[in-house]
Amino acid sequence: MTSVTVEKKDGKIIHLIRPDVQSAQINHVPPSRGLIKMDAMESPYPWPAYLRGEWLEELQGVALNRYPDPESTDLKASLRQVFDIPPGLELMLGNGSDELIQIINLALKGPGRKVMAALPSCPMFQMIAAYVGMEFVGVPLRAEDFSLDMPAMLAALEKHQPAVIYLAYPNNPTGNLHAEEAIVQLAEASHGLVVVDESYLAYSGVTMMERLQRHDNLLIMRSLSKMGLAGLRLGYLVGHGKWISQIEKLRLPFNINALTQFTVEFALNYYDVFLEQVEQIRRDRIWVVENIRRLEGVEVFPSETNFVLFRVAKGRGEAMDAKLRQKGILLKNLGDSSPLLRDCLRVTIGKPSENVAFLSALTSSV
């Protein structure tokens, strides 16, 4: 290809691709081969062998030559039953929570419309706002305990009038639960939607589902990724039908493929198996926190999730991350993500042997 052709092609790219897309960075996922993977809030446990065998046998009946059920009717019925979704509330399914956030933003997008969230939180709240061309308003959490700074949140709400506020409950990456009454106060003060992300419900055991009946601008968003089904990419949105019916119009047909529909429905028949794994992770989380707390110069924060946030000595975050990788442990280094997270790392709770390996590596690196 000649240089003239290349310049012509580049000129077309520069002319057509949005400037903010051209300046954006690809969201790279770090390679994990050869490392104990404790960076992504996944469950470390595979399905039991007997469950995999039964699943593979029944999987043969899935008609791969046909499009999947566009409404995911049977899967929705299973989700309603297992997660006790009240009658009168509607469900919408997404390819993970990320697609649900994208659809909500697209439905609300308009001149001057804004997305708001407390930070630090799930990075997708900010990233997807940028992807769809909406302005993002971030309000810092309180530095001392990562709780919502309500005066600042209410002031930002009044000033910016966001079309949607996203709140992770519990919060990622800090691991704490925001006060329920604070979220209700925001819903009552907001003229837009308030979306409560309950992706870690299995670990916290706390939900705002009951509040949906009294606050019609509240929506609850959940994911099955954190409890052993991350590879299936299923999220669901719950709320009043008047909201869901409008947002649903932007959901692409067949967004939940046939294998995901069948497999999640199959897995929900064995929900107790996954809850046992969750309980093991919850017990191990307590043990990991207790052992980190014993280390001099390391601050560990309370968690209601399947991960733990901790801070090492000032200025040592990068070096600690590098040392742990050298010792075969892959964590999430959060030092550059927020001023509130300087020298902070996040570890996902693994199998007992992985937790021991992590603590050994951390202890010898402090």
- Give the tens place of pLDDT for each residue, 293-327: 999 999 999 999 999 999 999 999 999 999 999 99
3-class DSSP assignment, residue 346:
strand
Gap between the Cα atoms of 41 and 308, Å rounded: 10
Relative to beta strand 218-223, strand 307-311 is unpaired
DSSP 148: -
Phi, psi of 330 (to 5 degrees): -105, 110
Q: What average pLDDT does the structure give for the chain?
A: 95
pLDDT digits (tens, 9 = 90+) for 159-191: 999 999 999 999 999 999 999 999 999 999 999
Which pLDDT does position 9 carry in this prediction? 58
Relative to beta strand 89-94, strand 235-240 is antiparallel
Which pLDDT does position 359 carry in this prediction? 98
pLDDT digits (tens, 9 = 90+) for 88-134: 999 999 999 999 999 999 999 999 999 999 999 999 999 999 999 99
pLDDT digits (tens, 9 = 90+) for 323-342: 999 999 999 999 999 999 99
Ranges of each domain in the chain: 3-48+272-365, 67-270
Distances (CA, A) of 201 to 70, 142, 220, 346: 27, 23, 11, 19
Which pLDDT does position 19 carry in this prediction? 86
Which pLDDT does position 96 carry in this prediction? 95
Note whether 172 and 146 are within 8 A (CB). Answer: no
pLDDT at 6 over 50: no
Gap between the Cα atoms of 156 and 148, Å rounded: 12
Confidence band for 18, pLDDT divided at 50, 70 and 90? confident
Confidence band for 4, pLDDT divided at 50, 70 and 90? very low
Q: In sequence order, what E strands does the chain have?
A: 36-37, 89-94, 114-119, 135-140, 164-168, 193-197, 218-223, 235-240, 299-300, 307-311, 329-330, 332-333, 344-348
The tokens describing 318, both together, are 């990068």
Best CATH choice for the domain 3-48+272-365 from the list 3.90.226.10, 3.40.50.720, 1.10.540.10, 3.90.1150.10: 3.90.1150.10
pLDDT at 10 over 80: no
Gap between the Cα atoms of 265 and 268, Å rounded: 5
Helix extents (H) in 166-298: 180-189, 201-204, 241-247, 258-268, 271-293
Which pLDDT does position 99 carry in this prediction? 98
pLDDT at 67 over 90: yes
pLDDT at 7 over 70: no
3-class DSSP assignment, residue 313:
coil
Spelled out in words, what is the top-level CATH class assigned to the domain 67-270?
alpha beta
Share of the chain above pLDDT 70, in %: 98
Which pLDDT does position 64 carry in this prediction? 95
Note whether 319 and 26 are within 8 A (CB). Answer: no
Gap between the Cα atoms of 21 and 56, Å rounded: 41
Gap between the Cα atoms of 13 and 11, Å rounded: 5
pLDDT at 218 over 70: yes
Confidence band for 1, pLDDT divided at 50, 70 and 90? very low
- Where do we find the tokens 């070096």? 319
pTM of this structure:
0.93
Q: At what angle do helices 123-131 and 96-108 cross, to 10 degrees?
A: 50
